[in-house]
A and B are shown apart, each in its own frame.
Chain A
Amino acid sequence: MITFDNVAKRYPNGREALAGVTFTIQPGEFVFLTGRSGAGKSSVLKLIALLERPSRGTVTVSGQNTGKLKPGRIPAFRRAIGVVFQDHKLLVDRPIYDNVALPLVVAGTPLKEVDRRVRAALDQVGLLGRERSSPLELSVGEQQRVGIARAVISKPQLLIADEPTGNLDPGLSVEVMRVFKRFQEVGVTVVIASHDPHLVEKFGQREIVLDAGRITSDTFHAGHAARMTAQAPQLSDLPDIHT
């Protein structure tokens, strides 16, 4: 699903965010990227979502070398990836419905289908009935769930999240992580950047630790291998969204 081959990233200001990073993430995996602030977690996610291009090395996502992707192909590439941000990136002048529908609208999905899938996605994150509310009327945790609904509505095979629980209290963090887990359980590959060791410990998944732009450890926590073998992608398990 995702391959980083000796990837380096240097920003225009000269800061080297990644230096020779190599790893592979299989389809259906649930991976935490951890490390201190500035370790390079967000840069990895940006490279996956093609918000940045590598300075050196190769990033391959779903078989496509992102460094060689032509500008005209980038929108379609991004439509195949769900992205969740710490600051949610919701449009506050539009109701929740419009925020969640946006990926389908830009893809030209028929309106009836948009309506059906928006309601299904909001149902999945427990916000059905709040379609007409403004994002400003929601709690931070609810806003994060709107961001997740928007990220998954176009049925991505890959879901990435940058510190999705950064602004949440521990209870809400677990709730949000459970939402991610449910998507991984039906075959969606999930990559989460987090600096919260408790979450990683609690959910016991693969953890790639970064420090100063390099991978310092790549650990499979207890239960990961068993889960990887036991689960075959079954998208139909979430019929409202993934059909």
Chain B
Amino acid sequence: MSGAVSSYGTRHLQALFGALGRLVRAPLATLLTLMVIGVALALPAGLALVVNNLRNATGDFSNAVDFSVHFKLGTPIERVQQLAKGARERAGVDSVTVKTADEALDEFKQASGFGDALAALEDNPLPHHLVVRPAKDASGPAEVESLRRYFAAFPEVDIVQLDLDWVRRLHALLDVLRRIMWVVVIVLGAGVLAVIGNTIRLEIQQRRPEIEVTKLVGGSNAFVRRPFLYTGIFYGLGGAMLATLIVLGGLTYLDQAVGDLSAQYGSRFHLTGLGRRGMGYLVGIGAGLGWLGALISTGRHLRAIEPRA
């Protein structure tokens, strides 16, 4: 049994190194194919980075949808704290901070520069209020609107202040970018499949005599297919590695300029790269597309080759 397993493993290794050897023996053709695949994979990967970096540049999205719940003047602070406690237990709420009227006045004094004038007031004209931050997974327009209605329903609440239009616009923008990214992923993924499939088809035609003889002596379709599948995987892997280099090169080239630009706005923003996980995804997707392209191509063309006497 172990001999059979060892033999099976050896056959796979032979097919693997045979496929690798064929690619190495035709360096120019291999490089050209890898470049096409690399560029095709680099475009969606680059677009995904653009989306990620835009999200980072606009800050944590949950900060963007913080909103304030202002209470009617005269509402006891105990009632405000009670409502805050109840709100914290709701799903979709990340945090609720109580700001008393006095704290609000102090902040206003510092922020507005009217400290002396405000000191002349006999009563504090500001109400108690809550600063509510929705959870990250509940910061969409619908969830935020639901939360707004929850607070507005209390009779002690005077006004719930938030700029939902801004949230909607940001969501819409990110949604458009995400959709563009997926369209590019699908179109260029199909392109990679086509490139690998066609390359494998040409190799099958080139090796037709060998395939015929192999089938003649009893080689199954699975046996004949094996080296072509490894070839497809190598193309996908190599293309993905090249795509990683292209993206990292582009990122390095742009990062300094983006850093300089953000510094003009008092920010220390820098572009973030693919990261280990991103690179892993890219290489995995590349290898998967290579395998699939080869599988489709061999499935279509190998059956048509039958030995001739």
Contacts and interface: CB of A to CB of B under 8 A. Distances in A.
A51 B218 contact: no
A75 B220 contact: yes
A215 interface: no
Nearest to B14: A105
A76 interface: yes
Given A51-B307, A110-B6, A102 B11 contact: no
B246 to A, nearest CB: 35
B309 interface: yes
B309 A78 contact: no
Interface string A39-56: 000100110010100000
Interface in A17-74: 42, 45-46, 49, 51, 72
Interface stretch (B144-152, B153-161, B207-215): B207-215
A150 B214 CA distance: 11
Contact of B217 (A45, A46, A103, A110): A103
Contacts of A45: 309
Given A42-B309, A75-B220, A111 B7 contact: yes
Contacts of A77: 218
Contacts of A107: 218
Contacts of B216: 49, 51, 78, 83, 89
Contacts of B220: 72, 75, 106
A83 B309 CA distance: 9
Contact of B309 (A76, A79, A85, A102): A85
A182 B223 CA distance: 32
B3 interface: yes
Contact of A78 (B3, B6, B218): B218
A111 B10 CA distance: 8
A106 B219 contact: yes
B306 A76 contact: no
A167 interface: no
A185 interface: no
| B interface residue count range (under 10 / 10 to 19 / 20 to 34 / 35 or more) | 20 to 34
Given A108-B8, A110-B3, A79 B209 contact: no
Nearest to B223: A106
Given A107-B218, A111-B7, A89 B306 contact: no
B309 A103 contact: no
Contact of A75 (B215, B308, B309): B215
A162 interface: yes
A76 B223 CA distance: 12
Contacts of B210: 91, 93
A103 B307 contact: no
A109 B14 CA distance: 14
Contacts of A93: 210
B99 to A, nearest CB: 75
Interface in A76-133: 76-80, 83, 85, 89-91, 93, 102-103, 105-111
Interface in B184-202: none
Contacts of B3: 110
Given A78-B218, A91-B213, A150-B217, A108 B11 contact: yes
A51 B308 contact: yes
Contacts of B120: none
Given A45-B309, A91-B210, A108 B219 contact: no
Interface string A149-173: 0100010000000100000000000
Contacts of B218: 75-80, 103, 106-107, 154
A90 B14 CA distance: 20
Find the residue from B14, B212, B220 having the highest chain A CB count within 10 A.
Answer: B220
Contacts of A83: 216-217, 309
A109 B7 CA distance: 7
Nearest to A153: B217
Contacts of A79: 217-218
A164 to B, nearest CB: 12
Interface of A: 42, 45-46, 49, 51, 72, 75-80, 83, 85, 89-91, 93, 102-103, 105-111, 150, 154, 162
Closest 9 CB pairs of A and B: A79-B218, A106-B219, A103-B217, A78-B218, A75-B220, A75-B218, A110-B7, A46-B309, A51-B309
17 contacts: A42-B309, A49-B216, A51-B306, A51-B307, A51-B309, A77-B218, A80-B218, A85-B309, A89-B209, A91-B213, A102-B214, A103-B217, A106-B218, A106-B223, A108-B8, A154-B217, A154-B218
Given A75-B219, A106-B218, 5 more contacts: A75-B215, A76-B218, A83-B217, A85-B309, A105-B14
